[in-house]
């Protein structure tokens, strides 16, 4: 009972922390410490919103319909993927400017502004925040009824996720600058692909996208979803043992496209990096 709930806490914590941690490492590594407070602003807003909405849904009589919950989670995840994709190509151009390929300052049009940074923090934590808050209240109610184990387990799981996130952050800071951009970029692409697949599944559950029951594969016979390695796979890569065709197709398409453009050497020194169909963000964006 302790371990199962700890694993759920670990998974939820990792899913929330990973993008935020990599963004923080990037901001520190590239002397953009001004961005740190905006990340925490976004994260803090998401936490407060989740806690409040979670309390309303747990103790109140107004309800958020199942479909609405899935639509919000799915849409927030897909929007998050858009921002992370922009972030990945921002890293690529930052790498080129630092290595001297781009003479002069980083192209301002591609520099992320405070709002974009805060939004990535908000979306990274908020997309699953409501579900996490509701789970927390359920463990609190169990504790109120005399069973402390789920709450303690969950709290330990969240703590472990925070610790793991911190270690990843420190580890990312140690990598030499040249490799840092390439490998954190690649890691982010795989994490974002997982978030995309997750968002698609939410929209399939809500009935907005078809194909909920059309599975590409189902290995839950061999990979028990509540085993620790499955939890880590889900927390980091959003890998689920039962994956639909739409999820798998989106994942493969995303990785193939973005990885190709990310790893391809830039053709001209001053050319901005190619981007896929993702929103560009400017400092003046409202």
Partner 1 sequence: MTALAAAVLALAAAGCSSDEGSSSDGAAAPGSADTVVSVVSTDDACEVSTTSVPPGSVAFEVTNEGGSPTEFYLYTADDDIVGEVEDVGPGLTRTLTVQDVVEGNYVTACKPGMTGDGIRADFQVTAAAGSSSSSG
Binding region for partner 1 (CB under 8 A) out of 21-29, 59-67, 181-189, 255-263: 59-67
- Shortest Å, Cβ 168 to partner 1: 24
Total of residues contacting partner 1 (CB under 8 A): 54
Residue from 26, 90, 154, 254 touching partner 1 (CB under 8 A): that is: 154
Q: Are 1 and 153 in contact (CB under 8 A)?
A: yes
Burial class (CB in 10 A: 0-12, 13-18, 19+), 174: exposed
State how far the Cα of 186 lies from the Cα of 222, in Å rounded to an integer: 28
- Interface positions, 121-150, toward partner 1 (CB under 8 A): 122, 126, 131, 134-135, 137-139, 141-142, 147, 149-150
Binding region for partner 1 (CB under 8 A) out of 69-77, 84-92, 174-182, 274-282: 69-77
Is 119 a binding residue for partner 1 by CB under 8 A? The answer is yes
3-state DSSP assignment of residue 180: helix
Residue 44 CB neighbour total at 10 angstroms: 14
- In Å, what is the CA distance from 262 to each residue of 46, 259, 278? 30, 5, 13
Residue 25 CB neighbour total at 10 angstroms: 20
Is 51 a binding residue for partner 1 by CB under 8 A? The answer is no
Residue from 51, 57, 156, 187 touching partner 1 (CB under 8 A): that is: 57
- Shortest Å, Cβ 5 to partner 1: 4
Q: Give, for 243, the enclosing helix (H) or strand (E).
A: strand 242-244
Is 271 a binding residue for partner 1 by CB under 8 A? The answer is no
What does the block give as tokens for 229?
């390695």
Residue from 68, 109, 163, 173 touching partner 1 (CB under 8 A): that is: 68
Tell me whether residue 94 or residue 281 sits nearer to partner 1 (CB atom): 281
Is 118 a binding residue for partner 1 by CB under 8 A? The answer is yes
Q: What ranges in the chain are assigned the alpha helix state H?
A: 2-29, 36-59, 66-98, 114-126, 129-144, 149-174, 177-205, 228-237, 245-263
Tell me whether residue 63 or residue 280 sits nearer to partner 1 (CB atom): 63
- In Å, what is the CA distance from 14 to each residue of 24, 98, 182? 15, 30, 22
Residue from 19, 21, 24, 53 touching partner 1 (CB under 8 A): that is: 53
Residue 39 CB neighbour total at 10 angstroms: 23
Residue from 103, 105, 213, 265 touching partner 1 (CB under 8 A): that is: 213
Binding site for partner 1 (CB under 8 A): 1, 4-5, 8, 41-42, 45, 49, 53-54, 57-69, 71-72, 115, 118-119, 122, 126, 131, 134-135, 137-139, 141-142, 147, 149-150, 153-154, 205, 207, 212-213, 220, 224-226, 241-242, 286
């Amino acid at each position: 009972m302790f371990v199962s709930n700890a694993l759920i806490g670990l998974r939820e914590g990792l899913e929330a922390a990973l993008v935020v941690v990599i963004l923080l490492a990037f901001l520190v590594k590239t002397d953009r410490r001004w961005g740190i407070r905006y990340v925490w602003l976004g994260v803090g807003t998401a936490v407060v919103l989740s806690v409040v909405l979670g309390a309303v849904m747990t103790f109140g009589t107004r309800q958020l319909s199942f479909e609405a919950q899935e639509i919000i989670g799915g849409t927030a995840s897909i929007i998050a993927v858009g921002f992370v994709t922009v972030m990945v190509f921002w890293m690529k151009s930052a790498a080129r400017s630092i290595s001297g390929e781009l003479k002069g300052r980083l192209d301002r049009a591609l520099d992320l502004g405070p709002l974009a940074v805060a939004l990535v923090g908000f979306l990274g934590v908020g997309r699953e925040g409501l579900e996490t808050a509701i789970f927390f209240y359920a463990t609190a109610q169990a504790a109120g009824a005399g069973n402390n184990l789920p709450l303690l387990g969950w709290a330990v799981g969240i703590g472990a996720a925070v610790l793991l996130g911190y270690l990843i952050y420190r580890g990312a800071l140690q990598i030499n600058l040249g490799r840092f951009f390439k490998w954190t970029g690649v890691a982010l692409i795989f994490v974002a692909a997982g978030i995309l697949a997750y968002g698609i599944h939410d929209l399939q559950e809500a009935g907005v996208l078809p194909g909920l029951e059309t599975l590409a594969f189902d290995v839950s016979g061999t990979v028990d979803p509540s085993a620790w390695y499955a939890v880590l796979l889900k927390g980091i890569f959003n890998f689920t043992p039962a994956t639909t065709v739409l999820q798998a197709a989106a994942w493969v398409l995303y990785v193939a496209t973005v990885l190709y453009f990310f790893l391809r050497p830039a053709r001209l020194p001053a050319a901005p990096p190619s981007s896929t169909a993702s929103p560009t963000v400017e400092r003046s964006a409202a």
